[in-house]
Structure 1
Amino acid sequence: MALSCLTLTANPSSIICKFKASLPTAPHALDATYIRRAAHLADKSAGFTSPHPNFGCVIVSPSGKVAGEGYLYAQGTAAAEVQAVKAAGELCRGATAYLNMEPGDCHGDHSAVSALLQGGVKRVVVGMRHPLQHLRGNAVRALRNQGLHVDLLGEDLTSNLIEDAQKECLLVNAPLICRAALRVPFSVLKYAMTLDGKIAATTGHASWISCKQSRNLVFELRGRSDAVIVGGNTVRRDNPRLTARHGGGHMPMRIVMTQTLDLPEKANLWDMSEVSTIVVTQRGARRSFQKLLASKGVEVVEFDILNAREVMEYFHDRGYLSILWECGGTLAASAISSGVIHKVYAFVAPKIIGGKNAPSPVGDLGMVEMSQALNLIDVCYEQVGPDMLISGFLQPLPDMVPVIPSPDETFVADPTVSPYDSRIIFFYKTWDPYGAFSNFSPHPIQMPDENGDYVTWMSVEHYYQAHKFIGVDDPLAQDCVEMIKSAKSPEEAARIGRSMQKQKPYLIRSDWDNIKIDVMYRALKCKFSIYPHLNSMLLSTAGSVLVEASPHDLFWGGGRDGEGLNYLGRLLMKLRSEFLGESSSSSETPSLTV
């Protein structure tokens, strides 16, 4: 299926292609219009929900009035369907709900489906099925089993207008589709060049090729990405900050890819006050410099063979959905040759600078004839100030018809054990089949405070991060607790807690390293005690080893090669043993103990 282009404007919510008003006499015109509206709503959350899907919902009353709308702000907040039904109120009775994507109730509570049923919706129109195999079709079946009429674009509804609307639904969740089918993040290569194809002068000077409007769009693209990646040459030449300071939803992670680790000791990217940086390099490169980076808070990840595909597969395992490549020509050529670049944004400025040795945006690809050139798909042209933005796909989005592997099949802690072996159950992101085991799953818990009064926390992660600061006699520590408590998602709570721990370590309670395991265990025990379906899920794993499959967390997770301590998995197995001992005469000895 061909995909329509994205139209960039200064408004972050309008990156998805703008649609023209459908003729009311055309087949399925209203359905197409409202599905597009749901897709546009979903796109508002780009950069906030990551690493989770973008969901939008529009409720249209029987009289044809838009009665309620909603979109997912972040994982852990109310589902788009819940928000829309609440906004519609009584107008929801007999209404039609338009969803850009099938709901993915991956925590066992089915809140989105329940909201539509309880609201009295009679018909549901779905833009696309959920890309993840263990969620694909579940919500559609559940709704149909309850007597609702469900229409799927491209299956139950077909027309030119429907096809165009479905394209927009695919585009708004292109990162999730690529991640699920290709097992690498959705990668966008961005560059600015002169009319004669140069990204810098022969001296390396490149400020500024593109106009201010174009640069603002780049900030917007960053804000919609999980991470921005550059090579060592860019760090040495430009000393970039790689922030989304003029737009976008959040600050993306910064990644430097360098084989030799020949980087300056002082660089803007080593400033961790705003956002973190990861350096990926060849194993064994400049050990002393690695220690220097570590002292600044920079994470260094070594690879036996450093290439773009290996790096992207690693960040796939870390849960990244979208990567923006802002690198020079050498790394860009390597990424294109590795097949990990999906889309290109080229800002062409009406300038000519010349220079035989001036760098170009893409290095040598090994092509010797024009017939070998790579052709972009669904090319889009847009004037941005005096510049021209040319964008298009290097490869089409994958077909969603074949069975898509579940993301939890990627990590293997023990190379002698198959990932399909039932004796080992991996969990990491909340979208996994056992994602509810994660401390980031959106299950509120009630825990007593120091006065014995019960306090509600939005998730285990909220509780855990806040307790780094609880009990510290400092007003700033109390402010940290309140900020974490009011965070709209577990991801946001984690960002606040980790950031403050790095910036103001004196606010962390002195006994934190000694009590953090107990803090996590108390929160997990509360969570699995008050949610029966979670308790049943945990008990159903009896006899299996539970591994938190984070490739970068060597304390709570299993680590990249199984070298991690896996304390989260251990705590869950300990908790499982306690529950089994309380609920039956038999007891279970956990495979791993704390």
Structure 2
Amino acid sequence: MDKNYMLKAIEISKLGSGFVNPKPLVGAIIVKDSKVIGQGYLKNFDSLSAINMAINSATESLDNSTLYINIESDFKELLETNIKNVVVGTLDPIKNGQEIETLKTNGISVTLGILKEECEELNEIYIHYSKTNTPFVFTKWAMTLDGKLATKTYDSKWISSDDSLKFVHHLRQQVSAIMVGENTVKQDNPMLTTRLEGIKISNPLRVILSKYGDLPLDSNIFKIDKDKKTLILCSSKIQKSKEKEILKTGAKILKFEEKNGHLDFKDIITALGNNNIDSLYIEGGSAVLASAFESKIVNKVYAAVAPKIIGGKNAITPVSGNGIEKMRDAIVLNKVSHEIIGNDVIIKGYIS
């Protein structure tokens, strides 16, 4: 039964997705006599803790009850209750077991590691950011069965099925920032917002890679309000007049020194991490993805393969750049899995 209750804790923790960054997703379940009598989750960055919410929602006395929680947390609220058993999915890399020892010192029984892998994947963003102070970076693209991102005329709407597009918006909901390059802005004029029905929406910060700010000012990314914000990453050599035009839209600018004529991705993720950006979703285009892989800053890859064929040697592939010369040097994903969404196959894997 421990696994079932931990799965419940994992599921309710996801209700905080998009609102707690850079804190972890936390879900807490209180069980007594094989019945859930209280539950809670971290709703947003400044809200009551999941444990506090679970305690406050309890419908019965907490005597002889057990708390299930997906990640080690501050357990001080528990010390004031009669809960004597705690089941924890995984350790918090910052607390590193200190809170577990506090529970044991106060006579509370602790079981650690129930659904550990699932709990760690749930909070892979938080765990990575806590250890490195740089964002967890993942990429996602949709391609045809013959590996094309768009036709030779740059038409790409829509390769994916409707269900696959919904999957993309769930990814956007999870992250602090989403990135595309200036060519994607010019060709597709994307909104880069989260569009989902039936849940509260969190829009990621729109991060645009544009070395000299060569962007149409009527683009959707410059439609800015309290819920939709944009950051332009550019060279320190950007013209002052162009910089002023961009700033007038309400967008922010972050400038970098060029290295070999390019903006360095390692400099970028360091700067984003220092600005409390714990996660970065790189959505395109192919040149930006190539630079990200060449810089070795990508942690996770999603690829949606649609059962369509375009053909054409000039059709666009997901990752451009110079490419790798020898197959033995190819980037190999590990912990690979897949699922079928609509008619598409979503492949997921990690880069060590």
- Which letter does structure 2 place at the counterpart of 1:387? D
1:242 Cα deviation from its structure 2 partner:
0.4
The alignment partner of 2:58 has SS state of: helix
Q: Is contact 2:206-2:229 (8 Å) kept? A: yes
Q: Is contact 2:144-2:306 (8 Å) kept? A: yes
Residue of structure 1 in register with 2:23 after alignment: 52
The alignment partner of 1:388 has SS state of: strand
Residue of structure 1 in register with 2:48 after alignment: 78
Residue of structure 2 in register with 1:94 after alignment: 64
Q: Distance in 1 between matches of 2:267 and 2:151?
A: 32
Spell out the pairing of 1:5-44 with structure 2 (5 A cutoff).
Answer: 30-44=1-15
1:364 Cα deviation from its structure 2 partner:
3.2
- The equivalent position to 2:76 in structure 1, one of 114, 118, 123, is 114
Q: Is contact 1:36-1:169 (8 Å) kept? A: no
1:210 aligns with 2:163: no
1:221 aligns with 2:171: yes
| 1:106-126 per-position Cα deviation (integer Å, ceiling 9, x unaligned) | xxxxxxx23322231011111
Residue of structure 2 in register with 1:283 after alignment: 236
Q: Distance in 1 between matches of 2:169 and 2:330?
A: 30
1:37 Cα deviation from its structure 2 partner:
2.1
1:378 aligns with 2:335: yes
Q: Distance in 1 between matches of 2:43 and 2:187?
A: 37
Q: Is contact 1:270-1:277 (8 Å) kept? A: yes
Residue of structure 1 in register with 2:273 after alignment: 316
The alignment partner of 1:348 has SS state of: strand
Q: Give every structure 1 segment of 4 or more consecutive aligned residues whose post-TM-superposition deviation is greater than 3 Å.
A: none
| 1:58-88 per-position Cα deviation (integer Å, ceiling 9, x unaligned) | 1111x22222111110122221111112222
1:176 Cα deviation from its structure 2 partner:
0.9
The alignment partner of 1:345 has SS state of: strand
Q: Distance in 2 between matches of 1:210 and 1:121?
A: 49
Normalised TM-score (structure 1): 0.56
Q: Distance in 2 between matches of 1:223 and 1:129?
A: 25
- The equivalent position to 2:215 in structure 1, one of 250, 253, 263, is 263
- The equivalent position to 1:235 in structure 2, one of 160, 164, 185, is 185
Q: Distance in 2 between matches of 1:379 and 1:136?
A: 28
- Which letter does structure 1 place at the counterpart of 2:124? A
User: Which is greater in Rg?
Assistant: 1
1:167 Cα deviation from its structure 2 partner:
0.6
1:201 Cα deviation from its structure 2 partner:
0.9
Q: Distance in 2 between matches of 1:196 and 1:182?
A: 37
1:125 aligns with 2:87: yes
Q: Distance in 1 between matches of 2:222 and 2:117?
A: 40
Higher relative contact order (CA 8 A, sep 6+): 2
Q: Distance in 2 between matches of 1:225 and 1:356?
A: 35
Normalised TM-score (structure 2): 0.93
Q: Is contact 1:68-1:84 (8 Å) kept? A: yes
| 1:166-209 per-position Cα deviation (integer Å, ceiling 9, x unaligned) | 01110111111111223311111011111111111111111111
Q: Is contact 2:37-2:60 (8 Å) kept? A: no
- Which letter does structure 2 place at the counterpart of 1:189? T
Q: Is contact 1:257-1:280 (8 Å) kept? A: yes
* Unmatched tracts of structure 1, length 5 or more: 1-29, 106-112, 154-161, 396-594
| 1:485-525 per-position Cα deviation (integer Å, ceiling 9, x unaligned) | xxxxxxxxxxxxxxxxxxxxxxxxxxxxxxxxxxxxxxxxx
Residue of structure 2 in register with 1:194 after alignment: 144
1:183 aligns with 2:133: yes
Q: Distance in 2 between matches of 1:172 and 1:213?
A: 22
Q: Distance in 2 between matches of 1:127 and 1:348?
A: 33
1:361 Cα deviation from its structure 2 partner:
0.5
- Which letter does structure 1 place at the counterpart of 2:57? A
Q: Distance in 2 between matches of 1:385 and 1:149?
A: 45
Q: Which has the higher strand share?
A: 2
1:136 Cα deviation from its structure 2 partner:
2.8
1:362 aligns with 2:351: no
Q: Distance in 2 between matches of 1:336 and 1:131?
A: 27
1:261 Cα deviation from its structure 2 partner:
2.4
Q: Distance in 1 between matches of 2:43 and 2:160?
A: 32
The alignment partner of 1:100 has SS state of: strand
Q: Is contact 2:22-2:276 (8 Å) kept? A: yes
The alignment partner of 2:77 has SS state of: helix
- The equivalent position to 2:286 in structure 1, one of 313, 326, 329, is 329
Q: Distance in 2 between matches of 1:358 and 1:327?
A: 15
* Unmatched tracts of structure 2, length 5 or more: none
Spell out the pairing of 1:158-557 with structure 2 (5 A cutoff).
Answer: 162=114, 165-246=115-196, 249-273=201-225, 274-305=227-258, 306-364=263-321, 366-395=323-352
Q: Distance in 2 between matches of 1:267 and 1:175?
A: 30
1:355 Cα deviation from its structure 2 partner:
1.6
Q: Distance in 2 between matches of 1:272 and 1:265?
A: 12
- Which letter does structure 2 place at the counterpart of 1:243? T
Q: Distance in 1 between matches of 2:304 and 2:162?
A: 12
Q: Is contact 2:212-2:237 (8 Å) kept? A: no
- Which letter does structure 2 place at the counterpart of 1:260? Y
Q: Is contact 1:45-1:71 (8 Å) kept? A: yes
Q: Is contact 1:276-1:298 (8 Å) kept? A: yes
1:352 Cα deviation from its structure 2 partner:
0.9
Q: Is contact 1:337-1:365 (8 Å) kept? A: no
Q: Distance in 2 between matches of 1:240 and 1:142?
A: 49
Q: Distance in 1 between matches of 2:76 and 2:253?
A: 44
1:365 Cα deviation from its structure 2 partner:
5.7
Residue of structure 2 in register with 1:136 after alignment: 96
| 1:551-594 per-position Cα deviation (integer Å, ceiling 9, x unaligned) | xxxxxxxxxxxxxxxxxxxxxxxxxxxxxxxxxxxxxxxxxxxx
1:359 Cα deviation from its structure 2 partner:
1.3
1:47 Cα deviation from its structure 2 partner:
0.7
Q: Is contact 2:139-2:282 (8 Å) kept? A: yes
Using the aligned pairs only, state the percent identity: 35
1:57 Cα deviation from its structure 2 partner:
0.8
